Amino acid sequence: MSRIKELSAQADKLGNAAGSSNPSQPTQRKQQIGALVVQYKQISTALTPLAKQGILLDLYQNNLSTWGSTLRSRRLVEIKGLLVRLAFLAFVIAIVIVASRLWERAVYRYVQERRRRYQLLLLRKFVLWFVIAIIVAFAFASRLGSVVPFAGLITAGVAVALQNVILAIVGYFFLIGRFGIRVGDRVQIGDVTGGVIDIGLVRMHLMELRGGDYVPTGRVVAFSNSIVFQPTSGLFKQIPGTDFQWHEITLALSPDTDYSSVKERLLKVVEGVLKDYSEELERQYRVMQSSLFSPSTEGLRPKAQLRFTLSAVEVVIRYPVDRQQAAEIDERVTRELLKNLQREPKLMLVSSGSPGIQVRTNLAAA
């Protein structure tokens, strides 16, 4: 536009100088005007599309201004909606936390058993965090249909990757159940016997015990809680409130022994020894009866069984002992049996490379 103005000014100037007396000037002015016309046409040819582009740019500018205003207003609406959603989310989470606190107070007030209280408080934590996670997920999910497939894929992946961990966590709730185990219990898992010293969410730890008196070996054994789902490894636990075992003593007697009377004779000897400990054994038997188990009506009494071989008559006597006094009872039973063997009619032990009396200890009431 500036160039067109210049050309217009030059044309006006040449027009004003048309009255000059110089005969050569009309020819020069004609040439100059012709040159101005050519330049004017060139500039006007370029000016037309530029003017169109200017109109489009003005439209674009107006559109952009309109879009900017729309985005600013929409941003305010979205911010307000987000603040409202966050406020509602905080309100719902506060309600859940208050309910959790009421749960905790109710447990401390109405549940007196420490183990049951611990289980309910642990369950409260799991429920609290699970509910909070669900609330947060649904609060920020704009479309439920897009969340469900994603959540399904994530859940499947986690289930496959953490299969053993999930089994251990589920097994934990079986272990702390009503008939589960607790710290201090004596249990047997496979070939390992030990006292429970810790029950974690994923695994438990046992203090290994060995021998008839269950002496600690100083080693700690760790087992995954998923042991409760493995059919090959049994979990044996002493009945709560009891601490007795069944011991077995075998006497290999001469084949010519009067087996019709030897069974009752030896059984009376063992019963005489156990009379001094019958009160404690009866108490433990009553504890068994008060549980959901159905123990034998014979009670904790010694039992004798005869086994005949080619070289001897074996008398197998099984008798209950209190674990704390097991060594003392075994010694007294063995001593009294040996004395009784020397009484008339005497009973002869068979010596076949192995001791005539063999004592075996089993984890009973497990």
What number of other Cβ atoms are within 10 A of residue 59's Cβ? 10
pLDDT in tens, 88-121: 989 999 999 999 999 899 988 888 877 778 878 8
- Interatomic CA distance for residues 281 and 287, integer angstroms: 10
Contacts of 292-297 with C-beta under 8 Å, sequence gap 24+, read 292/179, 293/239
Q: Which of the residue ranges 134-138, 165-169, 304-308, 354-358 would you say has the lowest mean pLDDT? A: 354-358
333: Cα within 13 Å, side-chain hemisphere? 29
Measure the CA angle with vertex 233, ends 172 and 224; round to 5°.
35
Q: Encoding tokens for residue 279? A: 């009160």
Reported as a pLDDT band with limits 50, 70 and 90, residue 364 is very low
Please give the residue that has the higher pLDDT: either 29 or 275. 275
Quick check: 362 and 246 in contact, CB under 8 A?
A: yes
Q: Is 259 helix (H, G, I), strand (E, B) or coil?
A: helix
- What are the C-alpha distances in Å from 233 to residues 192, 229, 314? 10, 9, 33
- The whole-number pLDDT of residue 206 equals 92
The owner of tokens 């053993």 is 164
pLDDT in tens, 225-239: 888 888 777 788 877
Reported as a pLDDT band with limits 50, 70 and 90, residue 25 is low
The yes-or-no verdict on residue 357 having pLDDT over 60 is no
pLDDT in tens, 4-23: 778 788 777 777 766 555 55
Q: Is 248 helix (H, G, I), strand (E, B) or coil?
A: strand
E strand or H helix at 207? strand 203-210
- Interatomic CA distance for residues 290 and 45, integer angstroms: 112
H helices of the chain, where? 2-16, 25-110, 114-139, 144-161, 163-175, 259-274, 278-290, 326-341
- Residue 202 CB-density burial (10 A; 0-12 exposed, 13-18 middle, 19+ buried): middle
The yes-or-no verdict on residue 294 having pLDDT over 70 is no
Average pLDDT, the chain: 80
The yes-or-no verdict on residue 141 having pLDDT over 60 is yes
Quick check: 236 and 363 in contact, CB under 8 A?
A: yes
Reported as a pLDDT band with limits 50, 70 and 90, residue 191 is confident
- The whole-number pLDDT of residue 355 equals 42
Quick check: 179 and 119 in contact, CB under 8 A?
A: no
- The whole-number pLDDT of residue 11 equals 78
The owner of tokens 């042991």 is 227
Q: Encoding tokens for residue 142? A: 């704009």
Please give the residue that has the higher pLDDT: either 61 or 143. 61
Quick check: 124 and 167 in contact, CB under 8 A?
A: no
Using only the alpha carbons of the chain, give its radius of gyration: 50
Please choose, from the candidates 304, 300, 303, 302, the residue with its C-alpha nearest in 3D space to the C-alpha of residue 281: 300
Q: Which of the residue ranges 78-82, 145-149, 216-220 would you say has the lowest mean pLDDT? A: 145-149
pLDDT over 70 percentage in the chain: 87
Reported as a pLDDT band with limits 50, 70 and 90, residue 253 is confident
